[in-house]
Amino acid sequence: MKVDPKLHEVVDRLTGDGFREVEVYHKRGRSRSLRLMMRHVVTSFREEEGWAVRAGDDRRSFFHASTGAPNPDTPWPEADGEGLRLPSAKLVPEWTAPADLDAPLVGEGEALGLFEGIHRELASELPGGRLLVAQLDDGSSEAQLYSSREVSTSMRQRVAVLYLEAAGAGAAVGPIRLRLAAREARHFQPLALARRLADRLLIAQKGSAPRRDRGEFLLAPPVTVALLDALRPLWIGAGAVARITEITDRRGRVASPAFTLVDDGRLNGGVLEAPVDGEGQPTREVVLVEEGIFRQPLVTWRQGGTQTGRPSGCASRASWRDQPLGGPTHLYLRRNPEVGVAALVDDLKRGYYLLDTEGAPRLEDDARRFALPVCGFSIDSGQPTGSVTGAWLVGTVTSFLNGVQSVARDLTFLPSAPGLVGAPTLLVRGLELRRRTDN
């Protein structure tokens, strides 16, 4: 995709006005939203186009955003911001765009078919189970960026987000909620989604809060993702080096050898896979923790340096109205392709298989301890012995990181903000389960 000449005109106009640093960002997108609630369907289709400029020098700057196409004759705001420095152009490694970037937005009939399929499969898996709310937001966009630093690039994105809310036969069973993302809405599988909803509803229907207990814990992907997401400050930004130093032991470890944490903006098959980030910088794989050893934080080109490590293309733009912010794209715990979840369950002598969260994690003691509301099953000799709900999974951050014993192969990504966070099932020791009513 060639960059629109209007972007060049805007840059030329502003550099001619004495601004050394100029960047123009232009984005067009379309989206369809369908929401099913109590048999009522609400649909909407939206097209949007907008652009933004950052301009300045070492003493001043301004940010301007507007709808429509770039216009070099725009009256610019006063440059009363701090000094501005923009990134220079970098060589972008070759990248092949995924074929499904070209897939059309899902039609209304297709979306309703997906909802009906989930509802039907849920009722089959769990008599009395019903889908209360289903919402699908499906969108695609194209963006272009050009700057006085010779950055000239284009980006495309295709994301579908599915939200589900379900309840069981009894008035007190549910609702439980599920939110997923895929690059293309046709990748969502009704049977798999219905089974996950049914498992959660069965736990809510039959589960009880356990007594205070320790043991071995299998943490399914949603549980581990919630913990990794809550611990973002340890891995992201220039200040991460100081924070991670506080939990590094005398061997130089921050986690067990089974723990390898990665962020990858061009992850093959990833929902947000792209060759460049929101500032036109090349994306790449960054190993943050390798087999328990901290390697570097996730940093933008502006934050990188000898103390923080090599920068990664990790700046995202929520929309053309927003300035770029650093953050993960696909932050994930590396899986072990040799380990299946069933084998971990079979080997569990006495402990818990925690399938999902029942709320947001709570960080305490200056983020040194956590409490996460969870649900799942108690396990004895590889067999489930009861359902667990109304429980806290508690421990210190270091007990979680160092307690990882084994990592399975079922890597699963869930949407976060920004980016996605992924994890496989983990076997962890050193944590504790408590009733939610206990202190």
Q: Per-residue confidence of the chain (439 residues) as pLDDT tens digits? A: 578 999 999 999 999 999 999 999 999 999 999 999 877 899 999 999 999 999 999 999 999 999 999 999 999 999 999 999 999 999 999 999 999 999 999 999 999 999 999 999 999 999 999 999 999 999 999 999 999 999 999 999 999 999 999 998 765 666 899 999 999 999 999 999 999 999 999 998 888 888 888 889 999 999 999 999 999 999 998 888 889 999 998 888 999 999 999 999 999 999 999 999 999 999 999 999 999 999 999 999 988 876 778 888 999 998 999 999 999 999 999 999 999 999 999 999 999 999 999 999 999 887 789 999 999 999 999 999 999 999 999 999 999 999 999 999 999 999 988 899 999 999 999 999 999 876 5
Distance, C-alpha 322 to centroid of its chain? 19
The CB-side HSE value for 4 (13 A sphere, CA atoms) comes to 17
Residue 439 is predicted with a pLDDT of 52
- Alpha-carbon distance 293 to 428, whole Å? 18
Give me the residue spans of the domains in the chain.
5-206, 213-435
CB 35 within 8 A of CB 155: no
- Alpha-carbon distance 49 to 51, whole Å? 7
- Alpha-carbon distance 397 to 248, whole Å? 11
User: Rounded to the nearest 5 degrees, what angle is found at the Cα of 320, between the Cα atoms of 264 and 229?
Assistant: 35
- SS3 state of residue 275: coil
Output DSSP code: residue 323. -
For 5-206, CATH gives 3.30.2290.10
- Alpha-carbon distance 425 to 408, whole Å? 5
For the chain, how are helix, strand and coil distributed in percent, rounded to 5? 20, 40, 40
Cα Rg, the chain, nearest whole Å: 24
Q: Are strands 350-357 and 213-219 parallel, antiparallel or unpaired?
A: parallel
Output DSSP code: residue 205. H
Residue 170 backbone dihedrals phi, psi, to 5 degrees: -85, 155
- Alpha-carbon distance 22 to 14, whole Å? 7
Distance, C-alpha 4 to centroid of its chain? 31
pTM of the predicted protein model: 0.94
The single residue listed with the structure tokens 């589960």 is 207
